Amino acid sequence: MFDKYIIDAATVRNSGPADAPTGFSFVTKLGYYRGLGLSMIEELQVSLDGVELPRAAVTFDEGKGPLTLDEMETAFDRRWPFGAPATITVAWPGGFPAGEHTLALRQRLRISYMPFPSFNTDEKLVTVA
């Protein structure tokens, strides 16, 4: 429904030292029309140029401090409101590669009234200098 807003391509940044980045980050929004508790976000799958990046390398921060995807499973007291930006950080040696690349994010969400998960996906061409 709101898939085209999931990745904010203008926010992709390398993290760590400028001469030796240790990863990258970007701002994301929920692809569902209501907010969700973080424990209801079953997966945040990040891909770069069609290659799925390791789950263990991904952290999520809705403004209350970063969590691994495993920690999100039991974050019953934290919520991601609709329209609110959150930051995804990926530990990726060398950071985001220079030049134009395809960044994709797939959100698998557990919706209380749906008997199946909701999948929301966005893919953007991103250039980081």
Task: Tell me the pLDDT band of 113, cut-offs 50, 70 and 90.
Answer: confident
**48-68 pLDDT, tens per residue?**
999 999 999 999 999 999 999
- Tell me the whole-structure pTM to 2 decimals: 0.92
Which long-range contacts (C-beta less than 8 Å, at least 24 apart) are formed by 15-18?
Answer: 15/89, 15/95, 16/95
Q: Tell which CATH architecture fits domain 3-128.
A: Sandwich (2.60)
Domain map of the chain by residue range?
3-128
